[in-house]
Amino acid sequence: MQLFWVSGSTGDIKQINITKERLVRIGIIVSSAFLFLGILIFSTGIHIALEVNPDFAREVSGIVTVRERMELDSQYQKQLTKIQDQLGKASIRFNEFKSIKDRYLAISTPSTVKNKFVDPVNIGGPLKPLSFKLDPTKPLADNFEDTAVKSEELLQIFDKLEPEWVRQYQWLRTLPIGPPIDARLGMTSNFGVRLDPFTKQLAQHSGVDFVTPAGTPIVASGDGTVIRAEFDPAYGKFIEIAHADGFVSKYAHNSKLLVKAGQVVTRGQIISESGSTGRSTGPHLHYEVHQNNTILNPAKILVYAPPSNYW
């Protein structure tokens, strides 16, 4: 296509040739010019908006200033440090609880069954304590990821140990290690050789005697099954409870029995009321512990606790 331009002042005639290639070239130039102008206007507008109304600018473009980015990073870093401190304290607290649990297990477990809980063997490796500290040499995102990984590992340890701790707790409940009566009442006669209260001669005392007013509640010293609840000339009204690992606890001279043979009882459950039946000089509880037909000293395996703390 050709265009002819006639100048009004001089009368000159100019010829302009318009080709497809020239139109495309002109279109590209015009489009580029408008695109550049648009970017310039948008950039200028966002820059002004960031200074005047940063929230609106973020909402429109998602762009923040360097200063705001640094402030956000600082806030995230403070929160991460706080979380790491809490996790570190939780880890320390867990170790304290484990130490207390292990000490209690050692104290409360009768010597005849201590071999049931032994430390694992054939294990080792370098000591690498679990640490929750911000690493300044790493980006903030990497610190977040490291903390998340360590938190997951800590949770896995808790999940792994919980069943074992529950098993140990349930096992301890089945042993006759709890006080059968309020420990504040005290003992009047220990296990072993003593002067018989009737004959005044030396005799073997097969249990311990707790002083108690008549009618005082007597409780099971551990989970188990009642195997005898009857009367005996020497023991009076008595109860025998079978526990785990061959243990049997015996409660004698009661005034009233509250359980029957074959009944399942739990630690701390009231099973009788104290009295002075049988061969007795006054109200008290005669308490015995046997294991596999061997008489043990109950004082060596009882773990005393206030009555309100029965398991």
What number is the average pLDDT over the span 62-72?
63
* Higher pLDDT, residue 110 or 243: 243
The predicted-structure confidence for 9-53, as pLDDT tens digits, reads as follows: 555 555 555 555 665 566 666 565 655 555 555 555 545 554 555
Whether residue 224 has pLDDT greater than 90 = yes
The predicted-structure confidence for 121-180, as pLDDT tens digits, reads as follows: 555 555 456 666 766 777 767 767 777 777 777 777 777 878 888 888 888 899 999 889
Which pLDDT belongs to residue 306? 41
Mean per-residue pLDDT of the chain: 75
Which pTM does this prediction carry?
A: 0.61
Which pLDDT belongs to residue 95? 79
Whether residue 297 has pLDDT greater than 70 = yes
The predicted-structure confidence for 227-262, as pLDDT tens digits, reads as follows: 999 999 999 999 999 999 999 999 999 999 999 999
Quick one: pLDDT band at residue 272, thresholds 50, 70, 90?
very high
Q: Is residue 80 within 8 Å of 136, Cβ to Cβ? A: no
What number is the average pLDDT over the span 210-220?
92
Which pLDDT belongs to residue 169? 85
Structural domain boundaries in the chain: 2-61, 72-116+128-173, 183-309
Whether residue 266 has pLDDT greater than 90 = yes
- Topology (CATH) of 183-309: Glucose Permease (Domain IIA) (2.70.70)
What percent of the chain lies above the pLDDT cut of 70?
Answer: 60
What percent of the chain lies above the pLDDT cut of 90?
Answer: 26
